[in-house]
Structure 1
């Protein structure tokens, strides 16, 4: 049963902080284990290969295109619509000793002979394996640099206990999102990497809003310990969090359902990240700060007594 909050009521979030923290730790360990065992379904951006965009005179039947390409030796071809039902994008892994242009011409010839003689080549690109490896390294480095910069920023703006809580929450969000992609073997390309970085920014924004209110309440509310202050702060920011997450989810669901396969991975990563990020702002970032011993003294700046302030003014 849901209870309507009255003005002044406080939700006891920290009451469940220990089981929630244990649950989060188990999820993180499970996600790391899944990534280690199953790995990722790397997209063309990371593995290298050939990308061909073709235009049909009539709406293309994707299952038929896949069947024709499989008969021609391209069993691993990824076929999807691009822009409209007549535009098709084909991605294939690199073939040793065969140039991308040759692969593109073979695919075009197969489509012309077996499906539509009016098929036209729109674009062809080739990504080498070396470039894919470089993108993988740079992508991982970008996430690590982002977390390090956030740690420095939050440490300067707040307090080191809150900084560790925020970075732990961000790492928690990234690991769980990656774990879901590994578990479901969803394709991981550059758009997904961009979504992961967007999740970091979204989760940090949510955490900073909560931390601002915690710092304010530590200075304003005179009664209550750290857990009570954190509960008050989370309750006060709950409506803002739910409205922000809800409106964001509406857009992401629309992108996921109607956006097409090109941004399916992007929308999926953000959908996972929004759910995980909202949860982690409460039961990872805030709970960890409480467990690290955050107190009122840490939130109140130390007053520096000026030299001669205790002396009586001259008559």
Structure 2
């Protein structure tokens, strides 16, 4: 199924963050609801250093209770040369059978984003990826220490994964098969000018916090041009607008600039306030004007707004033929219509 006017189907994602909820079981229902609406993925923020759930641990728990929805935790920046968090995310990809992604740092990408994305690997045609491959058969394969020296058969016995989250830990040498997706999907906030070129070069999904389709269209074009300049195909990058949505006012706009008039800027980012039908109209307008490839939506009131989003907005978009009614594939890359890259375990002879 393709969307009208020759554009591909929308991509939709939703945040499942809940204030004051530390129990992983509390996130299962929202993720299942998003899956019922066939959303591409759900995100969960990082609470490192603050009271709150461990995003990786929570979504590892959610993985066992869902079948198709993509799972994208926000993780601490991966320090250049470190593998702990990367191995944990790859393990989530195995647990979920190819549905994992990860979002760098916090709500906005900072100065460490380039090192984080570069360290995470750029298999699939871009430069500056994982540690240089030395061309030795079996190097960096499952159960090895990355092909370094030391130990029998060139196994790097000094390398151990040691990631410990609140409810999710990975310790010891990397074991098991390569991650099903080659590497999990990389999501980055590309709103800031300092990170856009990096996102264009390394990210699979770029998020934009903008309030109007003209601004979004210009930034999307900039990202796609920068992707082409870095040697990758622009169509391998998905650009999503990020909106906080308050659907508690029905179809009545609370004040000018809300509802059908579009989102407005707030200190916490763009905010849409109105009803599910008005939100569907906004999404349709932005998508058909090629401003974005889809949206990452943050419910202002988690339970109420996610339910109205799925049962109202998404259902209407599906009825219009703008969004899928079922998952044609099983991995997050398939949901996003992105090819599977060569995994970081791939061997160059």
User: TM-score over 0.5 for the alignment?
Assistant: no
* The structure with more helix, counted as a fraction of residues: 1
Structure ranking higher on relative contact order (CA contacts 8 Å, 6+ apart) = 1
Q: TM-score range by the shorter chain?
A: under 0.3
* Pair member with larger Rg: 1
Length-normalised TM-score, structure 1: 0.25
Length-normalised TM-score, structure 2: 0.23
* The structure with more strand, counted as a fraction of residues: 2
